């Protein structure tokens, strides 16, 4: 497994692989890898990639002031071992200084899908995501890139970026990986105390319950009352709801019904930890 | 010579050329080709390109409200003939509708070099330029792209975009091509009446005179008084000065002296036609 730290080295290598006709997959991560990330690597392999590049970069530009950029968990050694075990063929560990050179001044902005949900609560977040992902695409020359469904809005924003900037690659979205309890795997779960972990279960339970009910009801359920009930159940469990929304799974526009083709998304604070989760109905 | 109208077709072809190890040059233009453009094609050939892709697209997104988007001159048939004669191997004629799909929402912004000069007078212009050029890079897979020095700020902004988004290609900037009178070649010269053409000569004359004086003076000339004189000469000739500036040729920051490493730039209205020109000192 190759380890790259310099963007130019990765690019040169990727260019050579590409010219040799090898199929490259990119798995962009912020590290502190868990089973969710490993499933993305597994997906890349299942899709027939000859080279699987995992990038591990806590991207400062996608954190807002006051967020957890400094304390975001990092463990390079463990990440390396996990990448190797999962079948990655290259790992890219850049530094903020070599990704954002002196007087860095170019950003990619998405103006539609990134306005609501997490974008409304985290100003500049998706600008940071789009910018770093565009850079990674240009550095790793992937034939396809794999993202997790847990960051549903992110996956849709990236798809739109690929379409609108004509990136010559495919986006693959892999399903959410959950702990046996139902909790969506996240590097940020490491912040949770035992009691917070217990509270967090209300999120996946509430989402699954709503999805189940909506599937049984012909034409789905009215969104407003269903979301109000879901929000109430989260509050009752001791979480502070950031948002509970039901949107069209493609356009991310608010949907008046929880029904086929919609996505229900939750963001909630569990103590000081912000958790997100979603279900496609 | 191949003619592409569909972005996906160009991309598929370019991808194949790239995989076959052929060196691709891109020459982005807005068409109505003149000797300036042809010199860019010539430069691409001299640099050893196997394939020279000329894009001809009057990009609506880089025009501001009230500018000349609708009346910008177009002549597809003449452009095709000129591309063929100059040695282009492919021409790309997209339409606004196939470059900007329904709900297009992703833009590339440069926040530093594009703030002054034309960027200050044409809000959104460089956002439009960066966005379309990023798209063209992804569609044509160039090893290098050739831009003209006449749009000096544009060339610097694009260089910065390539650096900051890690595009895997080189930017080549070719010198300004002038009519025998000294007037910088521009598709917009077609707007000029005979008397306006006469007035326009004050721009290149003034720039050359200043460059000549600055080259003779040890340490160059003070910018403020030199630029004031230049502006006055343009006004006296009947032009309406938009800006006359001297900047550091790399950072585009205002330079206090007209000296080696600086660039003097002019934008002026000649009747209703906005002309730009510059000299590197």
What pLDDT, in 10s, does the model give residues B32-50? 999 999 999 999 999 999 9
Angle, CA of A84, A89 and A91, to the nearest 5°: 75
Nearest by CB: B105 against A21, A100, A110: A110
Judged by CB atoms closer than 8 Å, whether chains meet at B165 and A130 is answered as no
pLDDT for B40 = 98
B102: nearest CA partner in chain A: A164
Alpha carbon of residue B229 to chain centroid: 26
Interface predicted TM-score (ipTM) of this complex, two decimals: 0.96
- Does CATH place domain A2-174 in 3.40.50.620? yes
Backbone Cα Rg of chain B: 19
In three-state secondary structure terms, B169 is coil
pLDDT for B118 = 96
pLDDT for B21 = 94
Distance (Å, whole) CA A279 – CA A152: 9
Residue B172: pLDDT band (50, 70, 90) is: very high
Please confirm, yes or no, whether B37 is among the known catalytic residues: yes
Query: CATH 3.30.1300.10 spans which residues of chain B?
Result: 187-280
A162, A155, A134: which is closest to A43 by C-alpha? A155
Nearest by CB: B139 against A109, A139, A166: A166
**The pairing of beta strand B106-110 with beta strand A106-110:** antiparallel
Residues in chain B: 281
- Splitting chain A (281 residues) into consecutive groups of 10 residues, what average pLDDT does each group show? 98 97 97 97 98 98 95 97 98 98 98 96 97 98 98 98 98 98 96 97 98 95 98 98 98 97 98 97 94
Judged by CB atoms closer than 8 Å, whether chains meet at A111 and B131 is answered as no
B17: nearest CA partner in chain A: A19
Judged by CB atoms closer than 8 Å, whether chains meet at B101 and A164 is answered as yes
Distance (Å, whole) CA A240 – CA B117: 48
Instruction: Average the pLDDT over B242-252 and give the result.
Output: 97
Distance (Å, whole) CA A158 – CA A279: 19
% of chain B beyond a pLDDT of 90? 100
Distance (Å, whole) CA B44 – CA B193: 33
B120 at interface of A, judged by CB pairs closer than 8 A: no
Residue B183: pLDDT band (50, 70, 90) is: very high
Query: CATH 3.40.50.620 spans which residues of chain A?
Result: 2-174
The CATH architecture to which B187-280 belongs is 2-Layer Sandwich (3.30)
Residue B156: pLDDT band (50, 70, 90) is: very high
Judged by CB atoms closer than 8 Å, whether chains meet at B131 and A11 is answered as no
A94 at interface of B, judged by CB pairs closer than 8 A: no
Residues in chain A: 281
pLDDT for A262 = 97
A110 contacts in chain B (CB < 8 Å): 105-106
Judged by CB atoms closer than 8 Å, whether chains meet at B112 and A134 is answered as no
């Amino acid at each position: 497994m190759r380890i790259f730290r310099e963007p130019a080295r990765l690019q040169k290598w990727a260019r050579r692989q590409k010219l040799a006709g090898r199929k490259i997959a990119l798995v962009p991560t912020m590290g502190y890898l868990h089973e969710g990330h490993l499933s993305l690597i597994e997906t890349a392999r299942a899709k027939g990639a000859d080279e699987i590049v995992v990038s591990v970069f806590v991207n400062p530009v996608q954190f807002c002031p006051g967020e957890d950029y400094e304390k975001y968990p990092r463990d390079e050694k463990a990440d390396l071992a996990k990448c190797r075990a999962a079948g990655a063929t290259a790992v890219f560990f850049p530094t903020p200084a070599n990704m954002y050179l002196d007087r860095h001044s170019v950003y990619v902005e998405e103006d539609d899908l990134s306005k609501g949900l997490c974008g409304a609560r985290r100003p500049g977040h998706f600008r940071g995501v789009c910018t770093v992902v565009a850079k990674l695409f240009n550095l790793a020359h992937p034939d396809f890139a794999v993202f997790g469904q847990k960051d549903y809005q992110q996956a849709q924003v990236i798809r739109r970026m690929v379409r609108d900037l004509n990136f010559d690659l495919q986006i693959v979205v892999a399903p959410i990986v959950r702990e046996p309890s139902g909790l969506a795997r996240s590097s940020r779960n490491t912040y949770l105390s035992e009691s917070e972990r217990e509270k967090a279960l209300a999120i996946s339970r509430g989402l699954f319950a709503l999805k189940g009910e909506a599937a049984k009801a012909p034409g789905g359920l009215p969104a407003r009352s269903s979301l109000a009930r879901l929000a109430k159940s989260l509050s009752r469990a001791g979480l502070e709801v950031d948002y509970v929304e039901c949107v069209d799974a493609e356009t991310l526009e608010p949907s008046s019904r929880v029904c086929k083709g919609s996505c229900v998304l939750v963001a909630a604070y569990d103590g000081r930890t912000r958790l997100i989760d979603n279900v496609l109905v």
